[in-house]
């Protein structure tokens, strides 16, 4: 007979955090939510750390370039969904990498001999309104001038007019030498009231642009998750079928981290995919794997070389894997088990492999419980699908505004590469549903409120970092009646309209 595990499989809803001593130093503004995203060795710094311990799910209805930009600006990270063509997914990654930077490589360039018609076509193709004019039209050519939307009027100017006749020539521009710091470049921008500052080398070849708008954006978003070139960071989901073609394209697009997207991470397919990355790129490319629900699954992927491991099977709000296949585990139990394995692995090997809790979040306080139980960060779909920045339609249904939300295992997504294990195509079945979620507004506004709750709970526990939360906080099981006691009860709730 099968190996029977008599331990109860528990959910987040069955636990509460017991308050600790809150000292005067434990205030929300003193809480640091930074957390490692990828594997690192003892006494070393992770290659990527999140400023906000949230990542968005690898789903068509959640993670496109628009949401990735919004979340990275708040310190989290999105994994662009992989159930689309390689070209489209790489394009979304590029959109995020182009959005924000301190020193921006010029991606829209032209020669003086080109025409206004060429400028208009270039703007339509790239979306950039600032065009570098170089001697050879290349991004690293000798800078001769720039063209912005203020240099021409489409309704008045001849489309065959030469760029050299309406560009701002180099002699009328302020430039800076390569090697200047971002702070110094921004000082020049402010002193001379510039919108952009070209950076050139000793031969006057164009290297970068620094834009005023990027400075303003960073001041509004101090927790931005940026790479070494001050660009927003972004991840991408991959499968175990076309990874040999998909991964190189995503790397060329500038992706910062990959994640294998599967309902079953404890598999040889994932090990082979990780081995491919290590053979082709060594440790220069980060790749996460999963999902798993116990120590054995964690150790298999950790020893295979995964940079982080996702925990959770069947706990997502639109996931019906447990109903369809009878497989999975309560999210709290799974997370506690894997966290213990992660800690023991760290003690034995000196390598820390972050774990990501994926699924099982119903209330905001469940996020804090997941972090307390050992998760380094959380992957969420429903939470992010509700916001303006998610890719789905906002609809009025039954007098309430909602947004569409569907699972990757649903017929709508048709992401069979994620779930199919081969064999007869007639055996395929759904593991996700098509649904709506209540519309909630802007990501930034909602995220600030959610993080405020997490920070407040941490203060009540007398801790200021996630590591302290995991090592010092106390958790208790709750009865079904105490769950009822924890909500409003024995009162008549006022009608909000009265």
Contact 285, 236 (CB under 8 A): no
When pLDDT is averaged across residues 170-178 and rounded to a whole number, the result is: 94
pLDDT value at residue 307: 98
Mean pLDDT of 64-77: 97
**pLDDT of residue 496 exceeding 80:** no
* Residues 6+ away with beta carbon under 8 Å from 88: none
User: Tokens for 41?
Assistant: 């060795």
The whole-number pLDDT of residue 4 equals: 82
Q: Quick one: pLDDT band at residue 214, thresholds 50, 70, 90? A: confident
461 is catalytic: no
Q: What is the pLDDT of residues 105-133, one digit of tens each?
A: 887 899 999 999 999 999 888 778 899 99
Confidence of residue 18 (pLDDT cuts 50, 70, 90): very high
Tell me how far CA of residue 128 lies from CA of 64, 95, 109, 260, 435, in angstroms.
Answer: 20, 12, 10, 33, 37
Position 413 confidence tier, pLDDT thresholds 50, 70, 90:
low
pLDDT digits (tens, 9 = 90+) for 473-488: 999 999 887 777 777 7
Annotated catalytic residue, options 259, 319, 356, 459: 319
What is this structure's pTM? Answer: 0.80
Q: Chain centroid to CA 344: how far?
A: 28
The average confidence (pLDDT) of the chain is: 90
Q: Is 418 a catalytic residue?
A: yes
Q: What is the pLDDT of residues 363-408, one digit of tens each?
A: 999 999 999 999 999 999 999 999 999 999 999 999 999 999 987 7
pLDDT score at 421: 47
Mind listing the pLDDT tens digit for each residue in 241-287?
A: 999 999 999 999 999 999 999 878 999 999 999 999 999 999 999 99
Separation CA 393–CA 401 (nearest Å): 10
Which member of 329, 418, 459, 461 is catalytic?
418
Give percent of the chain with pLDDT exceeding 90: 74
Strand ranges of the sheet holding 109-110, from the earlier edge strand across to the other edge: 109-110, 131-134, 143-147, 168-169
What is the percentage of the chain residues whose pLDDT exceeds 70? 92
């Amino acid at each position: 007979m099968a190996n029977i595990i008599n331990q109860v499989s528990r959910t987040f809803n069955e636990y509460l955090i017991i308050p600790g001593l809150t000292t005067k130093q434990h205030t929300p503004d003193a809480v640091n939510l930074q957390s490692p995203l990828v594997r690192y060795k003892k006494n070393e710094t992770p290659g990527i750390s999140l400023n906000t311990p949230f990542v968005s799910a690898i789903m068509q209805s959640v993670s496109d370039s628009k949401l990735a930009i919004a979340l990275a600006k708040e310190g989290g990270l999105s994994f662009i969904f992989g159930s689309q063509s390689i070209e489209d997914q790489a394009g979304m990654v590029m959109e995020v990498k182009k959005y924000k930077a301190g020193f921006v490589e010029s991606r829209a360039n032209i020669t003086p001999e080109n025409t206004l018609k060429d400028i208009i076509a270039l703007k339509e193709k790239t979306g950039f309104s600032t065009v570098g004019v170089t001697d050879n039209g290349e991004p690293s050519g000798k800078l001769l001038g720039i063209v912005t939307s203020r240099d021409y009027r489409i309704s008045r100017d001849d489309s065959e007019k030469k760029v050299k006749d309406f560009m701002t020539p180099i002699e009328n521009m302020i430039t800076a030498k390569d090697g200047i710091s971002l702070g110094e470049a921004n000082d020049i921008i402010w002193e001379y009231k510039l919108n952009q500052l070209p950076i050139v080398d000793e031969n006057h070849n164009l290297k970068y642009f620094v834009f005023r708008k990027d400075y303003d954006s960073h001041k509004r978003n101090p927790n931005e998750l940026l790479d070494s070139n001050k660009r927003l960071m972004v991840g991408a989901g991959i499968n175990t079928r076309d990874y040999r073609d998909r991964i190189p394209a995503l790397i060329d697009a500038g992706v910062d981290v990959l994640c294998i997207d599967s309902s079953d991470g404890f598999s040889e397919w994932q090990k082979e995919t990780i081995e491919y990355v290590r053979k082709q790129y060594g440790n220069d490319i980060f790749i996460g794997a999963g999902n798993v629900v116990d120590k054995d699954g964690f150790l298999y992927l950790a020893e295979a070389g995964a940079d982080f491991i996702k925990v959770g099977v069947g706990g997502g709000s639109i996931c019906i894997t447990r109903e369809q296949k009878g497989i999975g585990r309560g999210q709290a139990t799974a997370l506690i088990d894997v966290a213990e394995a992660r800690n023991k692995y760290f003690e034995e090997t000196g390598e820390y492999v972050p774990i990501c809790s994926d699924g099982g979040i119903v209330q905001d306080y469940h996020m804090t419980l997941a972090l307390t139980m050992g998760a380094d960060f959380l992957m969420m779909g429903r939470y992010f699908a509700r916001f303006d920045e998610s890719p789905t339609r906002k609809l009025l249904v039954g007098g309430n505004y909602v947004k569409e939300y569907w699972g990757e295992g649903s017929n709508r997504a048709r992401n069979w590469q994620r779930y199919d294990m081969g064999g007869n195509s007639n055996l395929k079945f759904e593991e996700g549903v098509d649904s709506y979620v209540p519309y909630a507004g802007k990501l930034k506004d909602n995220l600030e409120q959610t993080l405020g709750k997490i920070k407040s709970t941490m203060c009540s526990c007398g801790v200021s970092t996630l590591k302290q939360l995991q090592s010092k906080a106390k958790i208790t099981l709750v009865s079904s009646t105490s769950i009822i006691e924890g909500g409003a009860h024995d009162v008549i709730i006022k009608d909000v309209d009265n």
